[in-house]
Chains A and B, each alone.
Chain A
Amino acid sequence: MQISINNFTKTFDGTPVIDDMNLTIRDGEMLALLGPSGCGKSTTLFTISGIHRMDKGQLMFGDRDVSGLPSQKRNVGVVFQNYALYPHMNVFENIAFPLTVRKDNKADIDREVRAIAALTHISELLERRPGQLSGGQQQRVALARALVRKPDVLLLDEPLANLDAKLRLEMRSEIRRIQLETGITAVLVTHDQVEAMSMCDRIAIMKKGEIVQIDTPADMYSNPRTSFVAGFLGNPPISFLSGIAMENSFSVAPIKLRVPLGAHEGIADGTQLKLGVRPEHFGPEGDIAVEGKIAFAETQGRENLYDVALADGSVLRSIQPAGRNWALGDTVRWFIDSKSAFVFSDDGRRL
């Protein structure tokens, strides 16, 4: 079911948290709300679920306006960060709870619970208490409980934050598999860009209560609209150089660096600019030479990570396949791939 949020505004105790937000989640897609801590991701999520009320705005499930409905009448499944399983009920009773509240008959409940347990691979755990489950299993139960009512939308608030690295990887693909198999519309809140990129059809990047950009992971990565978005996606992250426009080039005078602006002609000389260079676009190959010293080197196995300090103190990050290794303190003359670099205005807008 398509979910749309129109002109949503929310204020907590006089502090505006969400300001005039518009967001559409397409039918059957999984959307990530990605952003730094405190930017209003959970607030948005819990507004969809009905825990928070909108101060202004409209929430549509399909073409039904649910803005005024309480949580109980919205048919939304929520997976909380700490799973929020009912400790005194066993797994079966936990999953059955939404159905018993609805007063379904016993045979139906039994069938539904077993079907959803099979989907989430917890059929053999039905007799256990939540306290006797691992983190990953608890999360599967939470997912099953959220899905058993066949909700219009599934909301996940940082579902992987409490898991260790290996389980996180496993549950990442599991959640995606279950979402695709059920075809449910889903919203995932996270501040981990890898999670957002790997699990979701589209990502909405939020900053201070606003959606900065909404796009597919690939488009977002290759075509960020602001320096904030560029800085948020990618690991290791992008690095920025500050300079000015000079004769249709991006110029950093002290180190005699000049990167042609190409398509962005006509910028007045002297305008402050920022150049964003992803680590894979800076290395021994490229077109614009830069000289610097290796200030940091990290071996990651398949790849090595380097920080190159330039003469004026700024730093460019680089990622290189293992094999040819540089040591801390080496002086290198590497190249920026000028066609792949992003040019931003001083206030962060992409040019």
Chain B
Amino acid sequence: MTRNFAAWPIILLLTVLSLPLFIMYLFLLVDTFSNTAPGSLLPNEFTLEHWRFLIDPTITGDVWKPTLTTVIFSASLMIIVVSVSATAGYALSRLALPFRRFVLSGIMVMHAFPSVTLIIGVFLVLQFAGLYNSLTGVILVKASLMLPFGIWIMKGFYDAVPWEIEMAGVQDGASRFTVWRRIILPQVKPGLLSLALFAFIDGWSEYMLPRILAPSSDFEVLSMYLNTVSDPNSSTYNFNIFKSVGLFYTLPVLALFVLFQNRLMNIFGGGTKG
């Protein structure tokens, strides 16, 4: 790539602008590994005690069970959203379905709808289906709230695949399903990957739905756990432990983002990449 302008002024500007954020994160990181004397700015001793919650359930309660629950929650969400979006997006993009326009505009409306406003209806449905207060229920609700977004994104990726490629596959003797699986699906792989990441991260950070739809159940996701830890009125309250748990909670998201940031940006580019 040839540049027709110098890059460093922009980099400098961005650095200056993000400096406060960066410093805050740095302090967060340092604080979790050290103790600071009251009134002082700089830490005076290195310690691992704030991370002991990882092995010692007596400090804030067992952290690994909520972690596992969160992984299950996010992974199921990812699987449901990706598989339904991959098939529904294709159908909406390519097949002459009855009520196609109606379904499309329905998806648009759902996409634009703030999910909180649906909560009462969702609550009633869950109650009726006997899924209130269960992990399955929360997963299903969260997945269906994400699906309009996922289907819409995948439809966009499918729309960008040339019609001729598909017809060529059919002419070559392959069934529509084979064409979809062997020819079309590989073309939208970037879209699937970014959608999977989005779904996972979204599930990871979900707090409200488990809180509302499973308030008295025996499972707990990490966001709820963090909330318990952060309660200043609790007997075990320790600001540094709260920071460590927070970091522990953020770490997977950060890692995913660092690993796949190019892929994630793909979702906004419509997926037309050679």
Q: For B165, what are the chain A residues with a Cβ–Cβ distance below 8 Å? A: 84-87
Residues of the A chain whose Cβ atoms lie less than 8 Å from the Cβ of B182 = 97
Q: Do residues B274 and A87 form an inter-chain contact, with CB atoms below 8 A?
A: yes
Q: Is the CB of A78 within 8 A of B171?
A: yes
The reply to whether A145 and B187 form a contact with Cβ atoms under 8 Å apart is no
B251 at interface by CB-CB < 8 Å:
no
- Chain A contacts with B in 72-107, Cβ cutoff 8 A: 72, 75-78, 80-82, 84-88, 97-98, 101-102
With a CB–CB cut-off of 8 A, which chain B residues contact A149? Answer: 172-173
The answer, yes or no, to whether B168 is at the interface (CB within 8 Å) is yes
B84 on interface, CB distance cutoff 8 Å:
no
Contacting pair A88 B187 (CB below 8 A): yes
CB-defined contacts of A98 to chain B, threshold 8 Å: 172-173
- Chain A contact patch, size range: 20 to 34
Cα A77 to Cα B170 in complex, Å, equals 10
Decide if B172 touches A84 in the complex (CB within 8 Å). no
- Whether A101 contacts B172 in the complex (CB less than 8 A), given A84-B162, A88-B187, comes out as yes
A51 beta carbon closer than 8 Å to chain B: yes
Which chain B positions have C-beta within 8 A of A76?
171
Partner of A101, one of B164, B167, B178, B274: B178
B174 located at the interface, meaning its Cβ lies under 8 Å from any Cβ of chain A in the complex: yes
For the complex, give the distance between the alpha carbons of A85 and B186 in Å.
Answer: 13
Residue contact A78 to B173, C-beta cutoff 8 Å: no
Q: When the two chains form their complex, are residues B167 and A72 in contact, meaning their CB atoms are under 8 A apart?
A: no
Q: What is the chain B residue whose CB lies nearest that of A46?
A: B167
B253 lies within 8 A of chain A by Cβ: no
Tell me which residues from 143 to 167 in chain B have a Cβ below 8 Å from any Cβ of chain A. 162, 164-165, 167
Is A71 in contact with chain B by the CB < 8 A criterion?
yes
Tell whether, in the assembled complex, residue B274 and residue A131 are in contact, meaning their CB atoms are under 8 Å apart. Answer: yes
Residue B183 lies at the interface, judged by CB distance under 8 Å to chain A = yes
A49 contacts the other chain (CB 8 A) = yes
Residues of chain A from 231 to 263 with CB closer than 8 A to chain B in the complex: none
Q: Which residue of chain B lies nearest to A155 when distances are taken between CB atoms in the complex?
A: B171
Q: Which residues of B contact A51 (CB under 8 A)?
A: 167, 170-171
Given contacts A82-B162, A101-B178, are A71 and B168 in contact (CB under 8 A)? no
Could you say which residues of chain B place their CB within 8 Å of the CB of A78? 167-168, 171
User: At the interface, yes or no: B175 with Cβ under 8 Å from chain A?
Assistant: yes
Contacts of B170 in A (CB 8 A): 51, 71-72
Residues of A within 8 A of B174 (CB): 72, 97, 101
The CA of A51 and the CA of B178, in the complex, are separated in Å by: 17
A102 to chain B: closest residue by CB: B173
| Contact status of A71 and B162, CB under 8 A, knowing A88-B186, A101-B178, A131-B274 | no
CA distance A189 to B153 in the complex (A): 36
User: Cα distance A81–B165 when bound, in Å?
Assistant: 11
Which residues of A have CB within 8 Å of B187?
Answer: 87-88
How far does the Cβ of A252 sit from chain B's closest Cβ, in whole Å? 50
Q: Which 10 A-B pairs have the closest CB atoms?
A: A84-B164, A98-B172, A84-B168, A88-B186, A80-B164, A101-B174, A78-B171, A71-B170, A101-B173, A84-B165
15 extra interface residue pairs, beta carbon distance < 8 Å, beyond A80-B167, A97-B174: A50-B171, A72-B173, A72-B174, A78-B167, A78-B168, A80-B168, A82-B162, A84-B165, A84-B167, A84-B168, A88-B187, A98-B173, A102-B173, A145-B168, A149-B172
Q: Would you mind naming 24 contact pairs between A and B with Cβ atoms under 8 Å apart?
A: A50-B171, A51-B170, A71-B170, A72-B173, A72-B174, A76-B171, A81-B164, A82-B164, A84-B165, A85-B168, A86-B165, A86-B168, A86-B183, A88-B186, A97-B169, A97-B182, A98-B172, A101-B172, A101-B173, A101-B178, A102-B173, A131-B274, A145-B168, A149-B173
B residues bordering A, Cβ < 8 Å?
Answer: 162, 164-165, 167-175, 178, 182-183, 186-187, 274
